[in-house]
Amino acid sequence: MLTFELMKEHEQVVFCQDPHSGLKAIIAIHNTTLGPALGGCRMLPYKNEEEALVDVLRLAKGMTYKCAAADVDFGGGKAVIIGDPLKDKSPELFRAFGQFVHSLNGRFYTGTDMGTTPDDFVHAYKETDYIVGLPEAYGGHGDSSIPTALGVVQGLKAVCQFLWGTEDLSQRIFAIQGLGKVGFKVAEHLLKIGAQVVVTDISEEVTALLREKAQDLPGTMEVVAGDDIYAVQADIFVPCAIGGIINDTTIEQLKVKAVCGAANNQLLEDRHGQILHEKSILYAPDYIVNAGGLIQVSDELYGPNKERVMQKTKAIYDTLFQIFKNSEKKAFSTVSAANQFVEERLQKRARFNSFYTHQQRPKWKVRR
Ligand SMILES: NC(=O)C1=CN([C@@H]2O[C@H](COP(=O)(O)OP(=O)(O)OC[C@H]3O[C@@H](n4cnc5c(N)ncnc54)[C@H](O)[C@@H]3O)[C@@H](O)[C@H]2O)C=CC1
Ligand SMILES: O=C(O)CCC(=O)C(=O)O
């Protein structure tokens, strides 16, 4: 398919190449109605360019919805670097990436996502100020996966309250896919409060590390291999790795009452949200649940304030609960309820939008 056809909902796509460092990256800006685009940068060994392009376009759109739902005055954008994070990283690669980000002159801010860490962006920050999620030593808030994990726990509580009339997570069974920066923290929290977790990760190292920690914690832990996670008999499926994992094949296997996790773009297509609804599996829309990182990194641009970030992240509970209630009242899926809430907010703001505002960070005192 042609690029313009693929990006028909997006404002801008930038292909970035630097032969010296080996950088091959794509930046996608979906919508800047609410302000300049903001979104992390993922590094993955994509099979081919089309896979990378499709991923970045979907992720950038998700950020528009996430920013609007979290009431953050930024638009939706995202970046992907094509490469293996275990082999292909170098300071020069991230500096080259920083130069491309700078060339957008404030239309796009970026930080970490799958496969990248705050330390990688210290190199990019040497070339541009349009970086978020920096380590505290560099004036940032540090690891944004901490509030993301907190937001997921808030989401899980809202699910439990809605389905079982109690926020208590300790009596539940959770099937967690992915024990990376976010999934590991969520699993550890659940083990600390005595819950049962069934986990999977393609890295044996991280499952071994969690097993070691679990020995001293009241909860119980079981490890399953790869795709077996979809068929686990649990209360809630918690996707914390890749996207597209709720699809025609996996939905048939699910034995849970709800899906609520950190992964971006969990539904392969929006219609899979409708199928979950018809099967009475409560779906917590990903871009509502996983907004904690966004809340922290956008707040960072105005001077770090951990208390403010925690308050805004805890509000994920209320937003999600309201969406569940709207979905119940109107008898449509939670995806439709969430999208409607966001699209109304975007429409209301659209009349303030202009190309000038795309590069202007909204109000408050700014870091630069
Ligand atoms: N880090 C953050 O603050 C945020 C992350 N997210 C999303 O949450 C998800 C996880 O992000 P991070 O924890 O930061 O990434 P990460 O790169 O730190 O961890 C991902 C983990 O998933 C594992 N994994 C990859 N493919 C897998 C598979 N097929 N089955 C099982 N495990 C698999 C990896 O081995 C790794 O341990 C991603 O979809 C990301 O876009 C969303 C919002 C914010
Ligand atoms: O966590 C970040 O660094 C930015 C936010 C983001 O990219 C995301 O929420 O997916």
Ligand 2 within 6 A of 110 CB?
no
pLDDT < 70: residue spans in the chain: 1, 354-368
Q: At what angle do helices 316-330 and 334-350 cross, to 10 degrees?
A: 110
- pLDDT tens, 102-151? 999 999 999 999 999 999 999 999 999 999 999 999 988 888 899 999 99
Identify the nearest ligand to the CA of 243 by its number.
1
Identify the nearest ligand to the CA of 108 by its number.
2
ipTM score of complex: 0.98
Question: Nearest residue CA, atom 5 of ligand 2?
Answer: 294
Identify the nearest ligand to the CA of 131 by its number.
2
**Position in ligand 1 atom list of the atom nearest CA 226:** 30
Question: Nearest residue CA, atom 39 of ligand 1?
Answer: 263
C-alpha to C-alpha distances, 278 to 237, 251, 271, 334, nearest whole angstrom: 17, 11, 11, 11
Q: What is the pLDDT of residue 368?
A: 47
In sequence order, what DSSP letters do the residues of 15-36 get, joined into one string?
EEEETTTTEEEEEEEEE-SSSS
Count of H-run helices and E-run strands, the chain: 14, 12
Q: Which residues pair with 197 in a beta bridge?
A: 174, 221
Q: What is the pLDDT of residue 365?
A: 47
Q: What is the pLDDT of residue 357?
A: 64
Pocket of ligand 1 (CB under 6 A): 112-115, 144-145, 148, 177-183, 200-203, 206, 240-243, 262-264, 290, 293
Residue 185 CA to ligand 1 center (angstroms) comes to 12
C-alpha to C-alpha distances, 74 to 70, 77, 286, 319, nearest whole angstrom: 10, 9, 18, 18
- pLDDT tens, 35-62? 999 999 999 999 999 999 999 999 999 9
Question: Nearest residue CA, atom 40 of ligand 1?
Answer: 263
Residue 167 CA to ligand 1 center (angstroms) comes to 25
Ligand 2 within 6 A of 39 CB?
yes
Task: State yes or no: is 78 an active-site residue.
Answer: yes
Q: What is the pLDDT of residue 361?
A: 66
What does pTM read for this prediction?
0.93
Residue 223 CA to ligand 1 center (angstroms) comes to 17
Catalytic residue among 61, 78, 157, 185: 78
End-to-end C-alpha distance for the chain, whole angstroms: 41
Q: What is the pLDDT of residue 355?
A: 66
C-alpha to C-alpha distances, 145 to 174, 181, 308, 360, nearest whole angstrom: 19, 6, 16, 26
**Position in ligand 1 atom list of the atom nearest CA 145:** 3
Out of 74, 130, 297, give the residue to mutate to test ligand 2, the one with the largest number of ligand atoms within 8 Å of its CB: 297
Ligand 2 within 6 A of 294 CB?
yes
Residue 337 CA to ligand 2 center (angstroms) comes to 22
Residue 117 DSSP class: -
Tokens of residue 295, six digits = 């809340």
Position 241: which residue type?
Answer: A
